[in-house]
Chain A
Amino acid sequence: MTRDELKEHILKKYDGLLTPLETGVFDLMCEVKPANLTKVARMLYDDEQLKFDFLNNIAGVDTGEQFEVVYSLSSISNNLRLDFKLVLSYDQAVIDSVKDIWTAADWHEREIWELYGIDINNHDNLKRFLLPDDWDQGYPMRKDWDAPDFVRMPEL
């Protein structure tokens, strides 16, 4: 299945759940509503024609206006790639866990929770992960984060 065929398939079968975005030559990127996350994830995993059985990565993004959470999926058996992202507002920064679909999501979600302060529903292992154990300075990957010894790159 080529990238265009994948797009066709998604438009046909996942109408309203996955919205393909224009991403040029890169892997197909779609947008998903946060409320539909677990449903879409389960469908992509179970779909016989796609079978996205491998979660490459979950990335958090702070654009300065909103949070985005980007999921990168691979299908080992069908040789496919797909990315999709959730858009979250700052005051509604909550997502559902996909840990029970892809086990790899465990650490990625912990990392996002720790560095961005995005809350994860139904995740039973949310505890300090990468930061020092006595860290009390908030969420360092947020755009507006600051600390006494934090030095911002000066504008050149």
Chain B
Amino acid sequence: MGLIKKVPVYAEHVPGGGFVATQLESVLSHAQACSMWYLLFATACCAIELMCTGASRYDFDRLGMIFRPTPRQADLIIAAGTITKKMAPRLRRLYDQMAEPRYVIAMGGCTIRGGPFYYDSYAVEKGIDHIVPVDIYIPGCPPRPESLLEGCLHLQKKVKAQKLADWHEK
């Protein structure tokens, strides 16, 4: 994808090149935003809401969001549930295995700041932003499917607003 990043640089020198670059930009980011394949990474009760959102009533698929069982095929990791200190290195490892550009949604109170396990817990990581960079935080315990869909729409907005030159700068 390094080549795509150079398009705006070279396109400037060609007549009409700016137009091509911006059109390419909007096409690419639209395609990317509308095919956010997410990694199945569900560690606690938020997973129930995640599954519910993926099922027919709320239907994730209409946003182009399809779950993948492997990080190699995923663009997005929805961290649904408590991340313990023992799980944290595994989450980081899965994140590292994903191809760029990659995004992270922190779903539920546990992933944001430890949630109900903030106090008196030796085992729970107090926020996954200590481990991976987070794009969208969705509060709730667990968040309703509507909240998760709202979060995903915000992520789509974020992806669509990306400039070609900023690709993979995360």
Contact = CB atoms under 8 A, between A and B. Distances in A.
Q: Contact size class for B?
A: 10 to 19
B110 to A, nearest CB: 15
B85 interface: yes
Interface in B49-86: 85-86
Contact of A145 (B89, B122, B126): B122
Interface string A91-131: 00000000000000000000000000000000000000001
Main secondary structure of the interface of A (DSSP, over half): loop
Chain A, interface size: which category?
10 to 19
Contacts of B86: 131-132
Nearest to A145: B122
B119 A152 contact: yes
Contacts of A132: 85-86, 89
B16 to A, nearest CB: 56
Interface in B115-137: 118-123, 126
Given A131-B86, A132-B85, A132-B86, A153 B122 contact: no
A153 B120 contact: yes
A147 B123 CA distance: 11
Contacts of B126: 149, 151
Interface in B98-151: 118-123, 126
A140 interface: yes
Contacts of A152: 119-120
A68 B93 CA distance: 40
Given A131-B86, A132-B85, A132-B86, A140 B122 contact: yes
A150 interface: yes
A39 to B, nearest CB: 35
Centre residue among A132, A137, A145, A154 by max chain B CB count within 10 A: A132
Nearest to B130: A149
B89 to A, nearest CB: 8
Contacts of B118: 151
Which 4 A-B residue pairs are closest in the complex by CB-CB distance?
A: A140-B122, A153-B119, A132-B86, A153-B120
Interface of A: 131-132, 137, 140-141, 145, 147, 149-154
18 contacts: A131-B86, A131-B123, A132-B85, A132-B86, A132-B89, A137-B122, A141-B122, A145-B122, A147-B122, A149-B126, A150-B121, A150-B122, A151-B118, A151-B120, A151-B126, A152-B120, A153-B119, A153-B120
